Amino acid sequence: MILRKLSCAVIAAGIAALLSGCHIYKKYETPQTSALTRAYVEARQTPADSTAFGNLLWENVFTDPLLADFINRALENNKDLNNARLNVEIAHAQMQGARLSYLPSIALAPNGAGASYAGSDISWTYQLPAQVSWEIDIFGKILNRKRNAEAAYRMSEEYARATRSQIISAVAYNYYAIAAVNSQLELSRATAKTWGESVEVMKNLKLAGRVTEAAVVQSTAQYYSIQASITDLEVQLDQLNNTMSLLLNELPQNWNIKTTLDFERPAIVRTSIPMSELATRPDVAAAEQALAVAYYATNSARAAFYPGISITANGGFTNLLGSFIKNPGDWFYQLAGSLAMPLFARGQNIAGLKAAKAQQKQALNNFEYALLNASAEVSDALTVYEKSAEKERLLIEQVKNLEKSVEYTNDLLQYSTGTYLEVLTAQQNLLGAQTAFISSRLSQARAFINLYQALGGGR
């Protein structure tokens, strides 16, 4: 009963301040300050389409068994992803601590002492006190700290999702890059062998008086140029292998990846960027949760202007009653309530509120930019994906015609109606077109991966 009356008395002292602080209790809502954010809010209210490309499980997107094995190993061992998971655990612990702030704190501090004066016997005193302290959250200080911690926890979860998506995409990206370089190496080595044979042909034609020494040295130079390009490809392959090892958190090794880059891809035909797809991206969701964190930080800065109200209770057993020592001791208890109203804090509260408001505006800008950036990334990936497929069809025709050109020019040279320059030019053009074809396939694979990631894929 005494505690109840004391609580009522303390609470009544802050009613006037409470009436002016209603905003500090308001929960975060996505600000609809622009057409972009309004579209985002509307998209979040729409049920997610489980069949949408970005919502597919990665196992249903990357069906190559070896690639799937690599992705699983990376998801289990990658250090960046493991650190992201640990950040979630840290945020969860902090959230639990913030939620428990509503409970009273209890402390037990037993003590004893002895004293002797002018040779008298030692007089012993002791106390077995317990203190209970309870902060009454009338002005939302604990409430906003709790909500801030909850938003920070959700933000860490979204960052972990984003990291997971990045790891999956990075492994797939590197996987097909290694495959492309292996294809280029295979092509270059086969071309080097063909060009080496052409050098011998030129030498024989020179002996027959059909070509000059210039034809021999130029064909020889062309042969060495392809040999030099092979060394560059080998260096590139080594670097890609090391990157894959880092992604899988394994010692550097050569990964035997051979594929035609002709994996099964869904037909993706769209004419616009639906906001419902962008709203599922983890980086967009993390940016919004960062805005929520900033919002609750602003509320906490506002709450700092209002009084702090607390109730304390002390009780225990002691033999020290004032200046008298009583044996045996007796029980005691004390009740107290306090209200601390900030009047002048050297401008710290005002400065804190101004800074919090500015940081909240920054968070809003970052959130809106995340939406715009997501839209641009999806648009870029779609364009590259569609155009690389178109380019691939054109390069196929180019390679077919250049293969015929090499065959025809070689035949013409054999029959004295062609020149060695035509042969060299045809060979160089064919190699360039074949290399461009491999690069186009890699670009299409990368665009496919980028599109999946840009749509929030990686579940």
Q: Is residue 126 part of a domain?
A: no
Residue 188 burial (CB count, 10 A) = 21
Q: Assess whether pLDDT exceeds 70 at residue 230.
A: yes
pLDDT at residue number 213: 82
Collapse the DSSP code of 266 into the 3-class scheme (helix H, G, I; strand E, B; otherwise coil) and give the result.
coil
Q: Is residue 365 part of a domain?
A: yes
pLDDT at residue number 175: 93
Chain centre distance of CA 199: 53
Q: Is residue 3 part of a domain?
A: no
Q: Is residue 312 part of a domain?
A: no
pLDDT at residue number 410: 73
Residue 421 to residue 272: CA distance in whole angstroms: 50
Residues 276, 278, 283, 288, CA torsion sign = negative
pLDDT at residue number 140: 81
Residue 10 to residue 139: CA distance in whole angstroms: 13
Q: Is residue 459 part of a domain?
A: no
pLDDT at residue number 339: 66
Instruction: Quote the percentage of the chain above a pLDDT of 90.
Output: 19
pLDDT at residue number 107: 80
pLDDT at residue number 12: 46
Are the beta carbons of 162 and 115 closer than 8 angstroms?
Answer: no
Q: Is residue 151 part of a domain?
A: yes
pLDDT at residue number 272: 60
Confidence of residue 19 (pLDDT cuts 50, 70, 90): very low
pLDDT at residue number 322: 62
Chain centre distance of CA 112: 56
361-377 tens-digit pLDDT = 999 999 999 999 998 98
32-91 tens-digit pLDDT = 888 888 888 888 888 877 777 888 888 888 888 899 999 999 999 988 888 888 888 888
Which token pair is 157?
A: 């979860």
Q: What is the mean pLDDT of residues 316-336?
A: 69
* String of DSSP letters for 221-232: HHHHHHHHHHHH
In CATH, what number is assigned to the domain containing residue 41?
Answer: 1.20.1600.10
Q: What is the mean pLDDT of residues 386-394?
A: 85
pTM of this prediction?
A: 0.80
pLDDT at residue number 119: 67
Domain count within the chain: 1
* String of DSSP letters for 332-380: EEEEEEEEE--S--TTHHHHHHHHHHHHHHHHHHHHHHHHHHHHHHHHH
Q: Assess whether pLDDT exceeds 70 at residue 263.
A: no
Tokens 């004391």, residue? 6
Which token pair is 403?
A: 């293969």
11-25, 86-100, 238-252, 375-389, range with greatest mean pLDDT: 238-252
pLDDT at residue number 15: 47
pLDDT at residue number 154: 92
Q: Is residue 132 part of a domain?
A: no
**Containing structural domain, residue 94:** 23-100+145-306+351-454
pLDDT at residue number 266: 59
Collapse the DSSP code of 305 into the 3-class scheme (helix H, G, I; strand E, B; otherwise coil) and give the result.
coil
pLDDT at residue number 151: 92
Q: Which residues pair with 339 in a beta bridge?
A: 309
Lowest-pLDDT choice from 109-118, 170-179, 252-261 = 109-118
Residues 26, 27, 28, 32, CA torsion sign = negative
pLDDT at residue number 4: 55
Q: Assess whether pLDDT exceeds 50 at residue 102.
A: yes
**Which amino acid type is present at position 97?**
G
121-160 tens-digit pLDDT = 777 776 777 777 877 778 888 888 888 899 999 999 999 9
Residue 359 burial (CB count, 10 A) = 18
**Which amino acid type is present at position 176?**
Y
**Which amino acid type is present at position 92?**
H
Are the beta carbons of 428 and 421 closer than 8 angstroms?
Answer: no
Residue 74 to residue 352: CA distance in whole angstroms: 43
C-alpha gyration radius of the chain: 37
Q: What is the mean pLDDT of residues 217-227?
A: 86
pLDDT at residue number 240: 94
Q: Assess whether pLDDT exceeds 70 at residue 17.
A: no
Residue 11 to residue 15: CA distance in whole angstroms: 7
Q: Is residue 74 part of a domain?
A: yes
Collapse the DSSP code of 45 into the 3-class scheme (helix H, G, I; strand E, B; otherwise coil) and give the result.
coil
